[in-house]
Structure 1
Amino acid sequence: SLVDLGHNVTVIASIIKSRKVKKRAFNFESKYSLVQYGSYLPFSIRSGLNFLLGYLVFRREYSLRKFDVVNCHRVSYAGLIMRFAKKRLNFPLVMTPHGEDIQRIPEINYGLRLKKGWEKRIGKNLLIADAVTAISDSIKQEMDFLSQQKIFAIPNGINLDEFVPQKSFKLHDDLRLDYRTKIILSIGRNHVKKGYIYGIKAFKYLIEKYRITDLVYVIVGRDVENLSYLLSKLGLQNRVFLVPQKDRPTILKYYQSAWCFFSPSIVEGLSMVSIEAMATGLPLVVTDVPGNLDIVRDNKCGIIVKNKDPESMARGILDLYLNKELYNKFAEIAVKQVKNYEWSNIAKKYLDVYQFAIERCNSRK
């Protein structure tokens, strides 16, 4: 989107050692320059080799391209490189934390800042930045040690052209479900922070307590098959379906097949899958945690339930199930409000922050 607005963009990123992941991550055409750094040697991170290579590649590109401003995404390891570079080159620097590098959830041991030494490192990285962007209010609250004048709330965006709020039965066909079946959909890799265990227990409570027969729960993502033990334990093999990660076109069809989107997460930076669900016209049922709460609270497009509370989650889904007028209202609001997350609009907000950083950096020289 920045390129479309007439700007030259260079992305400097570390190499991805897994060939499978590398193919998935970079198998696309781009309008910007992509420069990679790093080593495939063992222990290249621990030894500091990748740090050195990252700095040298950045310095080379900075000399060649004369960057007007640098936006460092993720403020842990990349932040260390940029702090080192800024001390020597003094360029306008914007930093953008995304989740694990700034959030802390001690009960599930989530967050780099809980690990020895990283609280101080990340704090120093953010302090040296001329401006900082927060993808959600929850992320902003984690940076209360910074001057609030240099923090700007800018969410991540999506490409709305990808999404069409129309009905598909692709997921029904793949799972051999009756077309009248309503699908509660969750998307994302199986990680403790996603709270899928609580989501499955909530669905168990919902169908047993209220004897609902036309709902199923589908979880799509990497490693979700590891939850199959819980389905067997709860006797949900025919009502909850675990679908491995799919390609992008298939995921888009799965959104269109769903009845609502459900995020039982314990924490999120900003739930991009919830925003994508909005673009497809799906009402949301999300937990009251950072990165989830922000989306529904700000857009009034769904129901907020208590995290790690299967009964509260079940009641939230039930409210949506029993109230068709409420369901239609949330669906309409979702499609309308998701325009706020269009990348072209988000890019313009970043340009304002870049200008702030440039002026602040110049005033301190």
Structure 2
Amino acid sequence: MKIAHVVSTFWPRFGGIGQVCFEEVKRLTAHGHQVSVFTLLYPGLPEKDIKDGFSIERLNPLIKFGDAGITPSLSSKLKGFDLIHLHYPFYGGAEWVLPVVGKSKAKLIVTYHMDAAPSGWLKKIFQKIYDLIFPRLIFKAAEKIIGVDEEYLVDSGFYKSVYEKSVILPNGVETDIFKPQPAELSLLGLEHLAGKKIVLFIGNLMPIKRLDLLIEALGILNDSELSLVVVGGGYDEYRYKKMLSESKLEDKVIFTGHCADAKRLTAFCNAADCLVVPSDTESFSLVAIYALSSGLPVIASDIPGLRGRVSDGVDGFLFKKGSAESLAARLKKFFELPPEQRKQMGEKGREKVLSEYTWDKHMESLEKIYSSVS
């Protein structure tokens, strides 16, 4: 089958959506499909590339804003494919799929990864206007809409437009990479944390990820033995460091910067006692299943997209969204558990991932979806 994947970010520049697309495309190619990826052009990258047997074409947008860009040239690139798989959202790109689907035999599959969460009033106005027009047209043209989490999809403002075509397909994780292994603090430059309680945060420092909530919880706990390792950067990093300085907590928090290397991310998971995901909104949370696959318990906001990953009291804890007091109480409860019980939580998380979130299981379902519309 000749398949086009359309996505706003892709290798070597990864976000969660780009990572999922990469894993799917890599495996589809290995299964004998002819796959091409169409994505945005970023500085320093070639317009055309070959990776693991599939082709990548990076399009230079007329106007670029963040991970979005107006790319009318996409329409002409998509001619001749049997199937087009759009990873939504892709503002400025997704709508250019419509002319092709309307004039060809190509079938459209859409993975509805998440609702965009723009910052700034101008971007919010643009999104509101855009969402009144294009998403429903795109979803109407699609044969199937793939949701990554049922509760998140049902809560979406677009659910009435997609439920008849929707199918739930959770993302996967490379369980042979993200797995329990001995901690190697020295390889991460964290040897000075040996014997400490280590809380891990992984992600971009966007406001909706709520690192500020975790910092506030640290202040409430006031535990001299507890340290926070932040794997990520950008966005509000300066504000968070200022917050730490004002709270006199800067000695308790280590910023490591971005990490795109899966094996290094695994090492961080193996070094920590728990991962905290304090987000206000998550459609799925890849970092949560990275942690669970590594045998690391997860403490997360009690919201759609995370309730489906974390079983409260089994492989982690859920806390009240937006409440630093609730998060602090859950962290306190977690560290009061006997070490053996915390270890059992990690084992339960690993068992869940092996049962529900392997890429083999994901790809088997994805190819069945493709076959059902071709």
TM-score bracket, shorter-length normalisation? 0.7 to 0.9
SS of the equivalent of 2:28 reads coil
Name which one, 1 or 2, has greater alpha-carbon Rg: 1
How many residues align structurally? Answer: 336
Partner of 1:169: 184
Is contact 1:225-1:244 (8 Å) kept?
A: no
Partner of 1:118: 131
Partner of 1:357: 373
Once the 2 structures are TM-superposed, how far is the Cα of residue 229 of structure 1 from its aligned partner?
0.2
SS of the equivalent of 2:170 reads coil
- Mapped to 1, the partners of 2:86 and 2:281 lie a distance apart of 23
Once the 2 structures are TM-superposed, how far is the Cα of residue 146 of structure 1 from its aligned partner?
2.5
Deviating 4+ runs (over 6 angstroms): 104-113
- Mapped to 2, the partners of 1:74 and 1:206 lie a distance apart of 39
- Where structure 1 has 5 or more consecutive residues not aligned to the other structure, the ranges are 359-365
- Where structure 2 has 5 or more consecutive residues not aligned to the other structure, the ranges are 1-26
Structure-1-length-normalised TM-score = 0.83
Is residue 320 of structure 1 aligned with residue 334 of structure 2?
A: yes
- Mapped to 1, the partners of 2:130 and 2:221 lie a distance apart of 44
Is residue 17 of structure 1 aligned with residue 42 of structure 2?
A: yes
Once the 2 structures are TM-superposed, how far is the Cα of residue 134 of structure 1 from its aligned partner?
0.3
Is residue 220 of structure 1 aligned with residue 231 of structure 2?
A: yes
Superposed, 1:91-130 pairs within 5 Å as 91-101=106-116, 114-130=127-143
Once the 2 structures are TM-superposed, how far is the Cα of residue 245 of structure 1 from its aligned partner?
1.3
Superposed, 1:1-365 pairs within 5 Å as 1-4=27-30, 6-19=31-44, 22=45, 30-39=51-60, 43=63, 51-59=71-79, 62=80, 66-67=81-82, 69-76=83-90, 77-101=92-116, 114-141=127-154, 142=156, 143-170=158-185, 174-207=189-222, 212-223=223-234, 225-226=237-238, 227-248=240-261, 249-297=263-311, 300-324=314-338, 325-339=340-354, 340-358=356-374
Is contact 1:198-1:310 (8 Å) kept?
A: yes
**Identity over aligned residues, as a percent?**
18
Is contact 1:37-1:53 (8 Å) kept?
A: no
- Mapped to 1, the partners of 2:199 and 2:55 lie a distance apart of 38
Is contact 1:108-1:193 (8 Å) kept?
A: no
- Mapped to 2, the partners of 1:145 and 1:111 lie a distance apart of 22
Q: Which has the higher helix share?
A: 1
- Mapped to 2, the partners of 1:98 and 1:110 lie a distance apart of 19
Tell me: CA distance 1:334–1:245, structure 2 relative to 1, closer, same or farther (3 Å).
same
Partner of 1:363: none
Is contact 2:208-2:279 (8 Å) kept?
A: yes
- Mapped to 2, the partners of 1:129 and 1:157 lie a distance apart of 23
- The residue type equivalent to 2:297 in the other structure is P
Tell me: CA distance 1:313–1:44, structure 2 relative to 1, closer, same or farther (3 Å).
closer
Tell me: CA distance 1:79–1:221, structure 2 relative to 1, closer, same or farther (3 Å).
same
Deviates more, 1:257-266 or 1:234-243: 234-243
- Mapped to 1, the partners of 2:255 and 2:151 lie a distance apart of 30
Q: What's the Cα RMSD here?
A: 3.0
SS of the equivalent of 1:347 reads helix
Once the 2 structures are TM-superposed, how far is the Cα of residue 300 of structure 1 from its aligned partner?
4.4
Structure-2-length-normalised TM-score = 0.81
